[in-house]
A = this chain, B = another copy of it.
Amino acid sequence: MERIPILKMGDFLLVTIQVDLYDQLAENLESDLINTISKHSSKGVLIDISAVSIIDSFMGRILGNIAVMSKIMDAQTVVVGMQPAVAITLVELGLSLNGVISALNVEKGMDLLRSKMQTSENEEHLDDNDNE
């Protein structure tokens, strides 16, 4: 199976990573995600990595890329479901997932995205008032 499915859930997109990412698969995922964000004007991307037992520098870079690309498309990325052992290994390897926000599980990730959407709407509202 050559593509990782992207599920639309309201304003957000959900991706579950269950297989080892290799070059072509990661590339497909990045372009599919960008296209889906653009198509549905999605406001957030949730990446579930609960089935991932090791994050190496390649995977870390892919996650970082997705976060940056989504940000440019005005969508926030949250990585959810990281196994404790993976977090420990990340730190031990000195890999910091720069620019990637994380949450404990999908539900908490969605709450986080919703609160971020709320905050940015309020800020826009404040800016509008300032301009008047």
**Which residues of A does B touch, CB under 8 Å?**
1, 3-5, 7-10, 14, 16, 18-20, 48, 50-53, 81, 105-107, 110
- The docked-state distance in angstroms from the alpha carbon of A9 to that of B10 is 13
- The docked-state distance in angstroms from the alpha carbon of A4 to that of B48 is 12
Interface SS of chain A: helix, strand, loop or mixed? loop
Q: Which residue of B lies closest to A80 (CB)?
A: B7
Q: Which residue of B lies closest to A1 (CB)?
A: B51
Contact of A107 among B4, B5, B8, B48 (CB under 8 A): B8
- The docked-state distance in angstroms from the alpha carbon of A10 to that of B110 is 11
Contact of A10 among B19, B52, B81, B107 (CB under 8 A): B107
